[in-house]
């Protein structure tokens, strides 16, 4: 059932248990390399988040209702998140939209 997460790190948004969260899996090698680069340059790596998670966290305080549609539009793709009452969320990802010419 499902693929193994070996070599991947599962990240969850900061909402408390029982609330809807955004989850993402990122390659462990990418996270280790970013950590090494930040250490070598004397920087502190505070957070690594997929763009959807960062954008949602930025705007979540502006949502007045439990039901909402959050759309993140990027060049050639978009991501939509539909949240319904009780925090039940579904996401739909559309990648590589066709170019209009």
Question: Tokens in use for 92?
Answer: 């739909």
- pLDDT (tens, 9 = 90+) of the chain, 101 residues, equals 456 668 898 877 777 877 767 778 889 999 999 999 999 999 999 988 778 778 888 888 887 777 788 888 887 777 877 777 655 555 555 555 555 55
pTM above 0.95, yes or no: no
Amino acid 31: pLDDT = 93
Classify residue 40 by its DSSP letter.
H
Separation of alpha carbons 93 and 74, rounded Å? 12
Predicted local distance difference test score (pLDDT) of residue 92: 54
User: What pLDDT does residue 85 have?
Assistant: 64
């Amino acid at each position: 059932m499902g693929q193994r997460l070996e070599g991947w790190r599962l990240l969850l948004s900061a909402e408390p248990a029982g609330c809807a969260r955004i989850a993402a899996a990122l390659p462990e090698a990418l996270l280790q390399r970013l950590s090494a680069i930040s250490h070598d340059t004397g920087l502190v790596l505070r957070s690594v988040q997929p763009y959807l998670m960062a954008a949602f966290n930025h705007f979540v305080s502006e949502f007045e209702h439990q039901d909402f549609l959050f759309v993140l539009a990027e060049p050639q793709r978009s991501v939509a998140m539909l949240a319904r009452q009780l925090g039940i969320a579904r996401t739909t990802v559309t990648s590589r939209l066709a170019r209009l010419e």
